[in-house]
Amino acid sequence: MSTLKAKLAQKIAEHRPRTTRLVKEYGDVKVADVKIEQVIGGARGIRSLVTDISYLDPMEGIRFRGYTIPETMAALPKPEGKDYPYVEGFWYLLLTGDIPTMEETLEIVEDFKKRSKVPEYVYDVLKALPKESHPMVMFSTAILAMEKESKFAKFYEEGFNKMTAWETMYEDATDLLARLPEIAAFIYRYKYKNGDIIAGDPNQDMGGNFAHMMGIGAPYDDVARMYFILHSDHESGNASAHTTHLVASTLSDAYYSLSAGLNALAGPLHGLANQEVLRWLQDVMDKLEGKEPTEEMMKQFVWDTLNSGQVIPGFGHAVLRKTDPRYQSQREFCEKHLPNDKIFKYVDMLYRVVPDILVEQGKAKNPWPNVDAQSGVIQWYYGITEYDFYTVMFGVGRAIGVLANITWDRALGYALERPKSLTTKMLEDIAGIK
């Protein structure tokens, strides 16, 4: 058994009595009241999920296993001479809650390499799709196509055991994570680079190998590490994490669950917003015919978008009530590596003008930028101008978080998710409407 799996087994054994105790001894302690506006309004703010992988404070932003983004980046082992940590070490942190040593990290790097071979039929499936299919369709389809590889599904067929079910979930999750960079890079090169595929480099870690397969030199390997870590987890109520968890709660395996979660990520209000930011900016740039906008001009574009009934992509959040630290972290990268980039300057100008306008409009509860406002700029700068692809990279990162979550779901035997519905008439009765 690998060091990580043995550590996870130990953590699970320690954790189980806590969950059992809460249910058995404190099961009827009340957590929250639910209002009609929450029932109709997308369950916003209803505290009805549990995860220990990450926690999102509305004012502070995300903490991964208790660590803020800067703390996470500082604490995890890094490849020599690089600014950002091994993604593999971050996987260890999300699963166990502990910071791995360099040795433990490198063991996972090797484990991922052994698992990284993508079955040939996956590429046949991708090639059978229309080339104009959205890359998220390709990504989700590739993952679903691999379902026959599921060790959990086999374990279920051969006789399910609740106590050990997490082990095959962990195996599936790790197999998937090890393969996602190659699938994502294949989609990119197949769709946008005339099928000129670059084979993986067995000497590289996950981030380095992704950069290599994309055909982009340093520091894009660090971009990949940063991007995957920043996009990994945002507690479990967001649409992609929640969908993955919901599907997994039916005892579906990780392939079905992750594919479903990525379909949620593909929505414009969720992960697709990062491509929408670039699309919106391109539109502004086209209208300006290359001229630099003044703040007044930018304000007008923002108002025009709002007045036409659209949202400003990359701004607002369902939980956060301040600038997203994931935005901040990417902004710091831009300041270091691309301070004079034209699109970065545009995005920075948006940061100066949009919040005041959203406040003036008076609708958005959070006028500040989210993760998607900045990420496309970096990708564009390093040559990935095909912004349809951005959500696929978000998906590789998001997989780390949601797969850690469903591994723990299985370990703690979380129940089939099945909230109760009411009719509109019942709500009217509760409200006392005659």
**Structure tokens of 287?**
């209208």
Please say which residue, 73 or 312, places its beta carbon nearer to ligand CMX: 312
Lookup: tokens for 265? 């990520």
Judge contact between 191 and 135, C-beta under 8 A. Answer: yes
Write down the least CB distance from residue 227 to ligand CMX, Å: 13
Residues recorded for the chain: 434
Q: Which residues are CB-neighbours of 206 under 8 A, at least 6 positions away?
A: 86, 87, 88, 109, 112, 177, 178, 181, 224, 225, 228
Instruction: Establish whether 337 is a catalytic residue.
Output: no
Nearest approach in angstroms of CB 117 to ligand CMX is 31
Q: Which of 231, 234, 245, 270 is catalytic?
A: 270
Residue 9: other Cβ atoms inside 10 A? 16
Q: How far is the CB of 431 from ligand CMX (least distance, A)?
A: 20
Query: Among residues 181 and 314, whose Cβ is nearest to ligand CMX?
Result: 314
Q: Which residues bind ligand CMX (CB under 6 A)?
A: 44, 238, 269-271, 273, 306, 311-318, 363-366, 370-372
| Residue 372 annotated among the catalytic residues of the structure | yes
Residue 63: its H or E element: strand 61-64
State the nearest-atom distance from the C-beta of 306 to ligand CMX, in Å.
Answer: 6
Phi, psi of 384 (to 5 degrees): -90, 85
Active-site hit among 111, 317, 324, 409:
317
Cβ-contact 77, 85 below 8 angstroms: yes
The residue among 62 and 247 lying less far from ligand CMX, judged by its C-beta, is 62
Q: Shortest distance, CB of residue 221 to ligand CMX, whole angstroms? A: 24
Place of tokens 């404190």: 26
CA distances from 430 to 40, 202, 420, 427 (A): 13, 62, 15, 5
Between CA 151 and CA 170 the distance in angstroms is 9
Alpha-carbon distance 414 to 395, whole Å? 24
CA distance 398 to 389: 15
Q: Clarify whether 388 is annotated catalytic.
A: no
Q: With respect to ligand CMX, which residue has the nearer C-beta, 41 or 217?
A: 41
Q: Which residue is nearest to ligand CMX (CB)?
A: 316
Q: Which is nearer to ligand CMX, 140 or 366 (CB)?
A: 366
Nearer to ligand CMX, 58 or 119 (CB): 58
Catalytic residue among 52, 205, 221, 372: 372
- The residues carrying an active-site annotation are 270, 317, 372
